[in-house]
A and B are shown apart, each in its own frame.
Chain A
Amino acid sequence: MDSLTRLNDIHQNHILLTKATVSFDDRFTLSEIDWTITPEQHWVITGPNGAGKSALAAALAGIGDIQSGSIQGIPNNVEIVSFEAQAELIAQELKKDDADIMDVISLGTPVSEMIFDHCQDTELAQTLVEKFGLSTLVDRAFRKLSTGETRKVMLIRALANKPELLILDEPFDGLDVDTLAMLQAHLASLIDTVPMVMVLNRFDEMPDFITHVAYLDKDRPEKKRGDKQSGDKGRLTLTVDRQDNAAFNELYQLLHLKTTDLSVPEADPTNKLPALDPSQPLVKLTQATIQYGDTVIVDKLDWTIERGQHWQLSGPNGSGKTCVLSLITGDHPQCYTNDIFVFGFQRGNGESIWQIKQFIGYVSTNLQWEYRVSTSCKNVIISGFYDSIGMYTKSTDSQKKIADQWLKLLGMQDRADQPFNKLSYGDQRLLLIARAMVKHPPLLILDEPCLGLDDINRQLVLALIEKICQGSETTVLYVNHHAEDQISGIEHYLALKKNN
């Protein structure tokens, strides 16, 4: 069935990448790309830096070594404009100089030759030369041009060559406003003649005619001992049809999170958490047992979490993951019948749960259910300073400032005053993670933070968590049974079994 439809696709001039793994000089590998481009589509490839956007564009132009899988249906006449192609062209020109054995000073290839020898439609080339403002430069040597000018030459060559597939890697980079508008208009006039694939770092530069977006991300290599460092990998993680507004907005947000230079906002300098004794573990459970009547949920568990040890806690449903967490957070009534040491407190000696909770940031699906309050997005973040659901105290200026920074990081600054309960499920989750992190707690507990989220929101959440892990001294306790949702940096694992 599948191979049949695929066969059909080929007949219909579709470009078809099937589990294509393409390597580029051992430095970079695109892994297992599945992608179909039909003739009437126009794509933007986007993603964080280092994810392989340009590599994927280049692969369509036949560059790179296909290690496995296949790339089919690439037309004969493909034009690519990219920094790499530009660099290569310039290098070729310089080589011509070197190769010149005659003792004459070479003038190099003139621009006119570069353009008109290459293209099929000289009339169009002539028009474009004028439009790009290169008329006065046609007699100059190509290698004497500025980078911006050689880029224009490349664009003219590509456009006037009547390609059957036009690949433009960051075509708008460095163009002045007028030229940019001109180029955009020209591209718009081509939409019925040639499928286009563009690499764009900035979403807001995306032309209106783009119909689809491909999102690439860095592949997190599963570290196996003895593995040779095999360079970075990129993976096509999702494709979005522009008609799908919701998905499109989420992608925008994801890209924002992945590409923004903003880092995790600082903790509140005006209200610091009490200092913890660095020689003590954050958490120590000794023979922890949770039991309802005769049913034992958790059986004599010993567990110590040292500062800076990131943990992943896993186990099937009913194995007591959330119960164990609630022993740590102080939400389980059997806290008081167990030997629990948390943040300097031996539980049951007159400490209040708020003294414990101040050291913990916590996110779970349950919290999201319970967070049914009609408060603003900004207040939801600020409530993290108080460990409360909703806000019952006036917030300080410093807290408000930090909340604004978080909203900015999430790309949600325009939603600061919107009611939390009107947000999408995924956006709510992002805000709750920001809420958990806002005070830079010594321990951040993420109880199945991706549960109930679709693919893109899952990636959004993971992107945010990764950002958090990089930019703080918080110890992360991650609970999940989705093996694919891994967070880099976790090296300790506790697997709970189901007691029967």
Chain B
Amino acid sequence: MANYFNTLPLREQLAQLAQCRFMHTAEFADGVEALKGKKMVVIGCGAQGLNQGLNLRDSGLDVSYALRPEAIEQKRQSWKNASENGFVVGTYEELIPTADVVLNLTPDKQHTSVVNTVMPLMKEGACLSYSHGFNIVEEGMKVRDDLTVIMVAPKCPGSEVRAEYVRGFGVPTLIAVHEDNDPKGEGLALAKAYAVGTGGHKAGVLMSSFIAEVKSDLMGEQTILCGMLQTGSLLCFDKMVEEGIDPGYASRLIQYGWETVTEALKYGGVTNMLDRLSNPAKIKAFDLSEELKEIMRPLYNKHQDDIMSGHFSQTMMEDWANDDANLLKWRAETAETNFEKTPAGDVEITEQEFFDNGILMVAMVKAGVELAFETMTAAGIIAESAYYESLHETPLIANTIARKKLYEMNATISDTAEYGCYLYNHACVPLLADFMKGIKSDVIGKGLSLDDNGVDNARLIEVNTALRSHPVEAVGSVLRGYMADMKKIV
């Protein structure tokens, strides 16, 4: 199998990357009709599998689970998830031949083997669906010509997919049809009905392509989302300890700091996040982030280039083939870092203090979001996609760190994201070594110690203008506007 993206001519590559359209509510008027009475068989009952299945069933659809034999025999967690929730569970042989839609919700790493196993069992004209396009785009999976291939990708962890549905809402979702596999022209109708079934239509659906989804998803998760937060956590912690700050305090400031500062990001973009700082701190954060962007830009470019060329997925697949040697080694290393080993101290940090004493963290988030967005759009990914895969998802990942530090983050994200995160972290820590030498506790740990908060008017105007005119802010305010019409939750 060859990398699918690389088989396309440049014209087609660019056209696919540029696909992304915010769909109108009226386009979902048919609800789940296209899937009514059809048999939906989910393979895998993990984070996405279970939660999507619960939503689909509660939307009136017929959902059952096909698990691999070991999972059933050993009554593994996936088997328990499905059977305790009252779903029919069966083997591939029992269920796949009856399926009108097969939802492949196994880990991406397993997709080739899973799809190769189930494809011969699928009935003529059925539909195969994914929640991530890696298998199609990077591994070039060739699916039988009579089968329809779609993607419905919630832009949130599985637990959120369920929680938002239960409160009567949903999570933003990206849908796509694989053009090579749409024999009956029903792919879009099925994908839309599926998105309605999970509640995604209430939160906003982006009509995209497999390629745009994969290339932007990979870029976002390995750079700003996971890579930057991991690198920032380790560097900021070590710096604070070096500066004599109580390690318990440092640990808490970081563990909960990302969540707090990105909450402001979620509501009002980078601008609002920086507006939470005092004027002198804002200018400081801005300057730091400019410096960071200059240092890190080549790294962001390299990640995007490697993703586009297929170099990234190739090295990752080599590691898969090598029993995940690199991934497991890095995972062990993270567990041994000082930040990870130091529990958050029993001190109270007020919401504002996270900003005031975390100026560098704010600068890192700003630099990472803007760089990822700039790099993606420069590579032909449309702004809406780039926004969702950078700014929009950052608070969601920050929440996982708040729960249980980097361990939780890496456990929640996909293997692909984890692999990319480590690549980034390994390159970024040494890259920022010099920069970090100049950092003192005034920007991380203690806050600026100024006699007065005066700033130069001209400079403040310059900084505010730069913040507000960044393209991620323009598209962000439009998309958040759509969301705010529908969603007003904390």
Interface residues of A (CB under 8 A from B): 292-293, 330-331, 333-337, 350-355, 370, 372-375, 379, 383, 386-394
Contact = CB atoms under 8 A, between A and B. Distances in A.
Contact of A392 (B37, B84, B486): B486
A355 B168 CA distance: 12
27 contacts: A292-B84, A331-B166, A333-B54, A333-B84, A333-B86, A334-B85, A334-B86, A337-B86, A350-B36, A350-B61, A352-B32, A352-B60, A353-B59, A370-B167, A375-B488, A375-B489, A383-B168, A386-B168, A388-B168, A389-B489, A390-B489, A392-B168, A392-B169, A392-B203, A392-B486, A393-B486, A394-B485
Contacts of B169: 388, 390, 392
B206 to A, nearest CB: 18
Nearest to A332: B86
B58 interface: yes
Interface string B73-92: 00000000000111100000
A390 B58 contact: no
Given A392-B486, A394-B485, 10 more contacts: A333-B54, A333-B85, A337-B86, A351-B60, A352-B58, A373-B490, A374-B488, A388-B168, A390-B488, A392-B488
B167 A350 contact: no
A418 to B, nearest CB: 15
Contacts of B142: none
Interface string B167-186: 11100000000000000000
A296 B304 CA distance: 54
Contacts of B85: 333-334
Contacts of A390: 167-169, 487-489
A389 B170 CA distance: 12
Contacts of B489: 373-375, 389-390
A336 B32 CA distance: 19
A372 B487 CA distance: 13
Contacts of A353: 58-59
Interface string B35-47: 0110000000000
Contacts of A293: 84
A338 B62 CA distance: 16
A15 B58 CA distance: 63
A351 B31 CA distance: 12
Contacts of B487: 390, 392
B192 interface: no
Interface string B58-69: 111110000000
B405 interface: no
Contacts of A350: 36-37, 60-62
B203 to A, nearest CB: 8
A352 B59 contact: yes
Instruction: Using C-beta atoms within 8 Å of the partner chain, give the interface range for chain B.
Output: 20 to 34
B57 interface: yes
B202 interface: yes
Contacts, number: 66
A390 B59 CA distance: 20
Contacts of B486: 392-393
A370 B84 CA distance: 23
Given A330-B58, A333-B84, A389 B488 contact: no
Interface of B: 32, 36-37, 54, 57-62, 84-87, 166-169, 202-203, 485-490
Contacts of A354: 59, 168
B5 to A, nearest CB: 36
A333 B58 CA distance: 9
A391 B86 contact: no
A281 B89 CA distance: 33
A389 B166 CA distance: 8
A334 to B, nearest CB: 5
B51 to A, nearest CB: 12
Contacts of A379: 488
A330 B168 CA distance: 13
B167 to A, nearest CB: 4
A336 B57 contact: yes
Residue in B32, B62, B168 with the greatest tally of chain A CB atoms within 10 Å? B168
Which among A293, A330, A383, A393 has the highest number of chain B CB atoms within 10 Å?
A393
A351 B37 CA distance: 11
Nearest to B197: A352
Contacts of B86: 333-337
A391 B84 contact: no
B160 to A, nearest CB: 14
Contacts of B60: 350-352, 355
For the complex of A and B, 8 pairs with smallest distance between CB atoms: A388-B168, A389-B167, A333-B85, A352-B60, A337-B86, A392-B486, A353-B58, A350-B60
Nearest to B62: A350
Contacts of B84: 292-293, 333
B408 to A, nearest CB: 21
Contacts of B87: 336
A327 B459 CA distance: 62
A391 B486 CA distance: 7
B96 to A, nearest CB: 21
Contacts of A374: 488-490
A269 to B, nearest CB: 23
A410 B84 CA distance: 42
Contacts of B58: 330, 352-353
B485 A388 contact: no
A391 B487 CA distance: 7
A336 B37 CA distance: 15
Contact of B488 (A351, A370, A387, A391): A391
A330 B54 CA distance: 12
B484 to A, nearest CB: 10
A394 B488 CA distance: 11
Contacts of B54: 333
Nearest to B486: A392
A450 to B, nearest CB: 24
A373 B164 CA distance: 12
B168 A387 contact: yes
B35 to A, nearest CB: 10
Nearest to A335: B86
Contacts of B61: 350
Contacts of A331: 166
Contacts of B202: 392
A416 to B, nearest CB: 16
Contact of B490 (A330, A372, A387): A372
A337 B59 CA distance: 16
A373 B488 contact: yes
A355 B203 CA distance: 20
A423 to B, nearest CB: 15
Nearest to B484: A392
Contacts of B57: 336
Contacts of B37: 350
Contacts of A373: 488-490
A395 to B, nearest CB: 12
A333 B168 CA distance: 17
Nearest to A351: B60
Contacts of B203: 392
B74 to A, nearest CB: 15
Nearest to B487: A392
Contacts of A375: 488-489
Contacts of A386: 168
